[in-house]
């Protein structure tokens, strides 16, 4: 862990970044299509 502007910063692995990116992409697509979470199932 390192400090950035006096705040602790945690570096995540590339795998974690990939999972976050996929999740964010899915969320954006769902919002653009106007699908409610109940309609998606997960």
Which two tokens mark 27?
A: 């969320």
Q: Compute the distance between CA of residue 42 and CA of residue 38 in angstroms, rounded to an integer.
A: 8
pLDDT at 42 over 60: no
pLDDT of residue 20: 92
**Number of domains the chain contains:** 1
Virtual torsion, Cα 23, 1, 3, 6, nearest 10 deg:
80
> What confidence tens digit (pLDDT) does each residue in 6-41 have?
889 888 899 999 999 999 998 888 888 887 666 665
Question: Is residue 1 helix, strand or coil?
Answer: coil
Domain that holds residue 15: 2-40
More confident residue, 4 or 18: 18
- Predicted TM-score (pTM) of the model is 0.51
pLDDT of residue 24: 92
More confident residue, 3 or 40: 3
């Amino acid at each position: 862990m390192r400090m950035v502007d006096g705040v602790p910063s945690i570096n995540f692995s590339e795998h974690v970044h990939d999972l976050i990116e996929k999740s964010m992409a899915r969320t954006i697509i769902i919002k653009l299509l106007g699908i409610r979470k109940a309609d998606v199932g997960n």
